[in-house]
A and B are shown apart, each in its own frame.
Chain A
Amino acid sequence: MKIAILLKQVPVKDATLKIDGNGTWIDESDLQFEINESDHFGLEEALRLKEKHGGEVVVVTMGPERVREAIKQALAKGADRAIYINDSEVSTPDPQVHARILAAALKDEGFDLILSGLQSDDYGYGQTGVLVAAELGMAHATLVMETDVQDGKIKVKRELESGWFQYVELPLPAVLTIQSGLNQIRYATIKGIMAAKRKEIREVSPTELGIDAAELQGGAFALEKVYVPQKTKETAVLEGDAKEIVSALVDKLKNEAKVL
């Protein structure tokens, strides 16, 4: 079974974020990064499927040079090789464009299964996996909590709202977006870390993959403004006798706080 895992690197969860000079994204200069959480669960699921059914796990990652660290971590955990897409040519945050680039890197590999996390913990669009499926014309399922590969098809458990689940069967090849928590992520072993040094990381650029340079700059939308929510707090002191205060309070609860 040939499995791709789309893996993104995002700022660590407890990072202190600052807005960058343009006000359109965060300042990444002093940040530490980690593998996007749901992608990490996706990697683990890919490794487990390989252990069960044999085959190969290929990490596909797009980003600046720093993402090699995430790739090496995935290789140390047991992925067999990696495709690294250097995104220095890409300036749009449009997930459609990102999906096209990823699809271009994936299309000739003949994967049986393409996994990604449900969404990234930075932009949080939740679209990359499904758009890749659309680009490649593959079946897809989102919010996957469990996988069961059978002959030429895969049965998955999807998480719905309010504790409901749904079982869906898809033909292979398919794209799945993985929900966090469906398995227990392994630690990289020392032998795995040492073996990762000898594994292939093939670097490609979007233009080498045949994506038009203009598209990499454009996209359907742009980020206008990123800002920290303003905290507002107002304290009002109600004065008068008890009756007046109660009446003013009820008025505020009804009309301002809207809790009555």
Chain B
Amino acid sequence: MKSPNVYDVYDINSMLSDEEKQVRDSIREFVRNEAVPIFRDYFREGKFPEQLIKPLGELGVLGANLDGYGCPGLNNVAYGLIMQELEYCDSGLRSFASVQGALVMYPIYAFGSEEQKQKYLPKLATGEYIGCFGLTEPDYGSNPGGMITRAEKVAGGYKLNGRKMWITNASLADVAVVWAKLDGVVRGFLVEKGTPGFQPRPMHGKLSLRASDTSEILLDDCIVPEDAILPGSDGLKSPLSCLTQARYGIAWGVIGAAIASFEESLEYAKGRVMFDRPIAGYQLTQNKFAYMMTEITKMQLLVLQLGRLKDAGTMHHAQVSLAKRNNCEHALNIARMSREILGANGIMDDYVSMRHANNLETVKTYEGTHEIHTLVLGQLATGIAAFS
């Protein structure tokens, strides 16, 4: 019997369609040739490599699982595989695509008017426009329903006031999807760059996701026209449905970071000799690899079935919580273990494991913290919400 591939122990490859494999392989080739070689320096500098945006658009990565308006209408498994390949490079790269596709294009697609879809989606798909998603506030993270940002009807439009925080891509964005309460109901508004009163400010000092723009947004009597409101948005469930889309991508994406870390530490351990033997030959190291292989296999199986459910239209948000929670936790453990195997070398940015581990600290926390997803699952099990 042939030995299994250590990065795909259960031959999940054989469960993918030709099209899914082709999409994965093409994105893999692009990411490893064009993105992997440059990310270390961008992480160091704390910048997102903007020159990759247009090529990502040309490949069809942005909004890949939406159909029409310049989007290819890919199935959700292939979309997930794209997220995995992007995050193999860096969580910042996957975050860019996640935000653009799941948090900006998706709400316009799901809640926008025909005019809004025609105006924004084709440009967001090519990368000509960059978008961001403003929901979280300084005092309302896990509890977005408590948001302070308000919209008020004024002559010819709406006046927005408030403050958003931890907003990916906000300083790069041509259009922001801003969530605000209008007469007590959460609604979405499309705010274009340069609108008076719309002020994004980059946040400095991050030790994680450094190759990604994270900004605050100040909304100070920011007046947007009548047609800036997303007509189909109606209450907190609207932004939460966007987050379900994005979390789905995260559950896949972090597998890429885990595989990159595992690959790196496995190669290193085979070549690093200590006490006359490669460190890969020691039981303590092998125990780590057994954990990594097992968890990566479980992560892969979880998201593949989750994707099949999503394609069938039967996916429940609690299933996404389960995968996001599980995969982020184990991906982070794997990146940390890999760093440990790399010894002192592992703290240098010539190696990727610690960068992945640092990034995954964010990924475990954003778009529903580990704790909140735990409570979602707790509620599913017991029928009792531990939060309100």
Contact pick for A30, options B2, B18, B72, CB 8 Å:
B2
Q: What secondary structure prevails in chain B residues at the interface with A?
A: helix
Contact code string B62-73 (vs A, CB < 8 Å = 1, else 0): 001000000011
Chain A neighbourhood of B22, CB < 8 A: 72-73, 76, 188, 193, 196
Does A211 lie at the interface of the complex (its beta carbon under 8 Å from any beta carbon of B)? Answer: no
Q: Tell me whether A191 and B60 are in contact in the complex, defined as CB-CB below 8 angstroms, given that A30-B2, A76-B26 are known contacts.
A: yes
A196 to B21, CA, bound (A): 14
Residue contact A194 to B74, C-beta cutoff 8 Å: yes
Q: Residue of A at shortest CB range from B74?
A: A190
Q: Residue of B at shortest CB range from A186?
A: B58
Does A183 lie at the interface of the complex (its beta carbon under 8 Å from any beta carbon of B)? Answer: no
Does A24 lie at the interface of the complex (its beta carbon under 8 Å from any beta carbon of B)? Answer: no
Does A88 lie at the interface of the complex (its beta carbon under 8 Å from any beta carbon of B)? Answer: no
Does B315 lie at the interface of the complex (its beta carbon under 8 Å from any beta carbon of A)? Answer: no
Which residues in window 1-30 of B have CB below 8 A to A? 2, 18-19, 22-23, 26, 29-30
Chain B CB count within 10 A is highest, among A69, A72, A194, for A194
Q: Tell me whether A193 and B29 are in contact in the complex, defined as CB-CB below 8 angstroms, given that A30-B2, A187-B59 are known contacts.
A: no
Q: How many A-B residue pairs have CB under 8 A?
A: 38
Residue contact A190 to B61, C-beta cutoff 8 Å: yes
- Listed A/B pairs (22) with beta-carbon separation below 8 Å: A30-B2, A69-B18, A73-B22, A76-B22, A76-B26, A187-B26, A187-B29, A187-B59, A188-B22, A189-B26, A189-B58, A190-B23, A190-B59, A190-B60, A190-B61, A191-B60, A191-B72, A193-B22, A193-B23, A194-B19, A194-B74, A196-B22
Contact code string A154-196 (vs B, CB < 8 Å = 1, else 0): 0000000000000000000000000000000001111101101
Chain A neighbourhood of B2, CB < 8 A: 30
Q: Residue of A at shortest CB range from B30?
A: A187
A157 to B30, CA, bound (A): 29
Chain B CB count within 10 A is highest, among A69, A72, A189, A197, for A189
A190 to B67, CA, bound (A): 12
Chain A neighbourhood of B26, CB < 8 A: 76, 187-190, 193
Contact code string B263-279 (vs A, CB < 8 Å = 1, else 0): 00000000000000000
Which residues in window 41-73 of A have CB below 8 A to B? 69, 72-73
